[in-house]
Structure 1
Amino acid sequence: MTYRIVIALILSSLVTFSLQNSLSAESRTLPIEPIEIGTMPQFVFDGYIVDNYYALKYKQQSMERIFHAPKKHGMNPLISGEGGYVNVRRDSQTGRFQMWYQTHAPKLDEQGKFIGANYAIAYAESKDGLNWNRPRLGLLNWNGTKDNNIVWKGITDKRASGPCLLDVPEGERKGYRYLMSYHTGGAGKGMNGIRVVGSHDGIHWDKSSDSLLAELHSDTLNSIVYDPISRQYVMYCRAKHIYRTFKGSILDTGASRRVARMTGPSIWEEWATEPQNILVPDELDNSNQFKFFYGMPVRYHAGIFWGALWPFKMNTDIVTELAFSRDGVQFERLASRPQLIALGKEDSWDDGMVFGNHWIEVGDEWWFYYAAFDGPHGDSTDRKSGIGLATTKKERLISLRGPRDGGVIITRKINWGGEKLVLNANASQGEIKVRVSDAKRRVLDGFDYDDCVPFHSDNVRHEIHWKKQSIGSLKGQIIRLEFLLLNADLFTFRAD
């Protein structure tokens, strides 16, 4: 093989690699049409699957994006007196709920002055997700006794904070049913940072599996998710090693409470990448004095990275807001900045700081467990913590709402492959009808609005019917779906 041929092959490979990366990036932010949707729910609020929407009386009315905040449960707080950075899983076979949360104990000097805190990970379980038992496990010494529910104190039994239960491909689990990342300090150089450990029951954690991911002093919940598109792990953390490296004034140290992102190929080996900041408070945050971000737990669901962002007002309130992204890098937030989990009323158990996390699915609902404090961030001695719950119907955080005289949502071109069209929608005060058109918006025979059986109720899985046609007959065709909403909310649609 000649020198010129080798160079040509290298250049060809580089061009191919560049094109593949470009197509991959484009397909995550602006999809390549026709879109293969499979049976995955298609959220309509972020403009990915939707090509256009508008009100029929466009001068007087408009289509709107509506945020639907989860409602706090009447039994809150479910756990009183402790709790932080909470994670909950539900056993798919037994229905048992399991909870892991950060707990802490103050460290005092000889004069009784607060000088810091010790951190560990505690465990609780429940049959119904509401009434929780904190079993006395007798595993680890905490505050001078083993009569506690502590399950993990880190690789050297000195510190474990920021627990994050991981969902990873089966082939990456090394036989463990449970995987958890956490942050440790005081373990020595080469040991401190973000680590991962495995367990067969969620109670007994195997030290022999404990592996360092990043030697990073990111003392928050460092959320790790598996990205099935790029086939890599993504961690959302703080880049404190960059912005807390100097002693002295803010001029040299910088602000470290931002959301950074880093990636790695495995959870069992140290990552070689460096974190990069991706979310910095903007002018809307600054206008409300929320000039810092304390962290952001993230979950990947239905093609979207869902972030529970923690805006922080120095040195008082912490709230939880929703952020979302198609690629895990460029996150969006709603213009009104509604709170995903709101602070409680004054003098309530959760009126100071609220640390929301992602949901678990219970029937037709999403349950959001959260940790909260009754005092501000700066009051580290008198404030008390607890764990609560907020719920909403599944996949119902943001809708597109049609006005009273009607609005239309038109999808991009879809390669249809289902027998049924199923909506998650609320038309209990109005109506939804659907028509089907081709790629150029020519209505298909038997699939116009007048042919559609109107939907007038509230359902997370309503099947749309037409009087004489079945959408299953359109398998393999390139279509657009056109939704007519009169005083109604559409959350998702899917092929089934």
Structure 2
Amino acid sequence: MTTFAARLQSTLFQGAPHDKLKGLVLGPGPAGRCDDAKVGIGIPRWDEKSQQWMLWYYCRDQNFTREAPPTLGSGSIASATSPDGVTWQRMPGLGRGGAIVEPSTSRDDFDSLHVGLTDVTVHDGRYFMWTFGGNFRTTDTKLGTLPGLAMRPGLIVSDDGVTWSRVYGAAAHGAMADIPHGKLYCAWPNALHADGKIYLYTSCTDPNFRRWDTLIQVSSDGARSWTAPQPLQWLDSSPGYGGAGELTRSMIPNPLNTGHRWLMAYTALEGPGPRFHRRSIALAVSHDAIVWLRLYDQPVFEIEDESAWDGGGVAAPHLRKVGDEWRLYYYGFPKAEFENTLPKGVGLAIATAPDLSNFRRIAAS
């Protein structure tokens, strides 16, 4: 199988033009797989134990008939491996269609309808998968009355990155955190391990999708209990590209000479505006992982071609250093009018160290 053929195996998108797939490294899989319809956010990591790249991602298959929100791609979670972090081989899980995590079989659990993830962290040799999900409870929103949108964050742990066990939290329906009053959901979690604590970041919005904000909770006992949520704070005012808030983010030790301890890559939502907010990726730095300063006046990565597979938005960034290059793995999706011909999936763009202001998508073939 050629490098490009491995990226997009679904029969749904075999006619997609190659020049519209620049940046794509993993799209929907072959028929019968749990990911043969949609591939969502992917979390890449070089795994020291197995000496290979691992990728965990959420997905949905063509036979996913549950009434989960159609705009989401979350359904189950799958994995892939790679020798180079570019060409990926899907791994067979024990779940339906090769999934490694499926919705809970207990209808009352927070993730009994659909499940996804936005982060995998490793601490003291243990893998922490930070998930989100929704159950069959319906919610009135601007999109209509839908089940599965009252999403909450969860945690699944593993000793090898392959076999996973749910951790039931103290929040409602076994989640790690509850939905704040007046908000639609508390989802898209990311985590940071520092100074013996876990910092948990989640996104919330109102039922009218006007703005997204990040909440931070801290655990000092290994995710058994959490502090009350507090908002992520900014030292500078919101630029236009981030006027509607931030949605997903990931944090790493700051490699830049700015004097700050942490570097965050995050999804910025342009606003104010209509329900759909243009998504781009920006960077920020912080001393304490709570108060942040935007690094540049502009995003470091954004939509390039609105008729391409990622012309609807780029989001959920994860930065990885490989040799002299910085890799930006991201989630891309097409504009609504191209959803039947172009895939959603995991993308990759590269910048040359130490300049993180200009990422370029990898070639389509």
- The two structures have a TM-score, normalised by structure 1, of 0.51
1:213 equivalent in alignment to 2:176? yes
Q: CA 1:343–1:358 in structure 2 vs 1: closer, same or farther (change >3 Å)?
A: same
Name 1:306's counterpart in structure 2: 263
Matched residue type, 1:186: N
Q: Is the 8 Å Cα contact of residues 121 and 163 (structure 1) preserved in structure 2?
A: no
Q: Equivalent of 1:196, from 145, 155, 164? A: 155
Name the residue aligned to 1:78: 25
Report SS of the residue matched to 1:83: strand
Partner of 1:297: 250
Q: How does 1:26-425 map to 2 (within 5 A)?
A: 76-81=23-28, 82-92=38-48, 94-104=50-60, 119-137=75-93, 139-140=94-95, 146=96, 148-156=97-105, 158-168=113-123, 170=124, 177-186=126-135, 193-207=152-166, 209-211=167-169, 212-216=175-179, 218=185, 220-228=187-195, 231-240=196-205, 243=206, 255-278=210-233, 282=237, 284-285=239-240, 290-301=243-254, 304-313=261-270, 314-334=275-295, 336-337=297-298, 339-375=299-335, 384-397=343-356
- 1:281 & 1:149 partners in 2: Cα distance? 45
d(CA) in 2 for partners of 1:277, 1:283: 13
Cα gap change, 1:86 to 1:115, in 2 (>3 Å): closer
Shift of residue 90, structure 1, vs aligned partner? 0.9
Aligned alpha-carbon RMSD (Å):
3.7
Higher relative contact order (CA 8 A, sep 6+): 1
Tell me how far apart the structure 2 counterparts of residues 280 and 382 of structure 1 sit (CA, whole Å). 42
User: Once the 2 structures are TM-superposed, how far is the Cα of residue 109 of structure 1 from its aligned partner?
Assistant: 8.9
Q: CA–CA distance in 1 between the matches of 2:154 and 2:252?
A: 19
Aligned-partner Cα distance in 1 for 2:244–2:341 = 24
Number of residue equivalences: 292
CA distance in 2, matches of 1:109, 1:356: 25
Q: Is the Cα contact below 8 Å between 2:279 and 2:302 reproduced in 1?
A: no
User: Which of 1 and 2 has greater Rg?
Assistant: 1
Equivalence map 1:431-446=2 (5 Å): none
Once the two structures are TM-superposed, the CA of residue 257 in structure 1 deviates from its matched residue by 0.8
Question: How far apart, CA to CA, are the structure 1 residues paired with 2:289 and 2:72?
Answer: 34
- 1:362: Cα distance to partner? 2.2
Equivalent AA in structure 2 for residue 79 of structure 1:
L
Q: CA deviation at 1:392?
A: 2.8
**Aligned equivalents of 2:46 and 2:71: distance in 1?**
37
Relative to 1, partners in 2 of residues 1:232 and 1:395: Cα closer, same or farther, differing over 3 Å?
Answer: farther
- Counterpart Cα distance in 2 of 1:239 and 1:280: 21
AA partner of residue 222 (structure 1):
P
